Copies of this chain bind each other. A is one copy, B any other.
Amino acid sequence: MSVLAGVNTKVLKNGDPAPAPPAAGTFRIYNMRFCPWAQRALIYASVKNIPSEVINIHLQEKPDWYFSKHYKGQVPALEHDEGKKHVIESAVIPEYLDDLFPETRILPTDPYERVQQRLLLDRLSAVAPAFYGAAQAVKNQEGRAEKFAEVLKAFENAENLLTADFYSGTSKPGFVDYLIYPNIQRAYWLAHVLKDSDFPISATDFPGPNFPKLTKWYKALEAIPEVAAASQPTEYGVGFVNEFLKGTPNYDYGL
């Protein structure tokens, strides 16, 4: 049973009343079920076993009150202390949760090792704009070859930077593994949509034979129950991407 409550509830949108503040001692994560950034917070809460209430937000018709949780109206936002504390940004919330719950710390305690995890995440981050670029190129053929080449380059870089079983540098997944997984998973979904095209990433044995280390890594990550509990099934992810590519994202896809 997952510690995440309400992951699969419908989005709140403009006109919907604001939820009551979270009860004392409880955590709330504002989310969108298919958002890779928000998923970082869900995975971290799940792996650290922090009971959390999840509220999904309609990202095109945002409720006015949501801007009091996140000044830009983006997800994720973490809310606690009876609604008095808010933390935003997908790479910051996990570090904050490690600081609040050091007994389940995922980041290393050594300052140099910790800082290297932050810097490694930066080096992998090209995966995300490459995905969005490729998704754009599906809708608008202009620059398609260059945009697909960017995806290939980002995955080659990710393959090269994987020097152990996990990006933690050990045989156990760590901060970078949990945070980059959602971005890699978006390319997995897109590979299903584009499986009969020249998209350089394979949906079968994803990301395919050119990336033997990443293939093993991805299988290991997706098999972790706490990661699965914070993820949407492939069928829904692929369905969401299909509608997203048509310009009509359905944030409640599959519900």
Contact = CB atoms under 8 A, between A and B. Distances in A.
A95 B119 CA distance: 13
A122 B89 CA distance: 10
Contacts of A85: 112
Contact of A95 (B71, B96, B115): B115
B99 A111 contact: yes
A28 to B, nearest CB: 15
Interface in A92-126: 92, 95-96, 99-100, 111-112, 114-115, 118-119, 122-123
A114 B92 CA distance: 11
Question: Interface residue tally of chain A, by bracket?
Answer: 10 to 19
A128 interface: no
B92 A119 contact: yes
A245 interface: no
Contacts of A96: 111-112, 115
Nearest to A91: B118
A158 B95 CA distance: 26
A114 B100 CA distance: 12
Interface string A152-177: 00000000000000000000000000
A96 B116 CA distance: 10
A87 interface: yes
Which of A87, A89, A95, A112 is most buried by chain B, counting CB atoms within 10 A of its CB?
A112
Nearest to A98: B111
Please name the 4 residue pairs, one residue from A and one from B, whose CB atoms are nearest each other, closest first: A99-B111, A96-B115, A87-B115, A100-B111
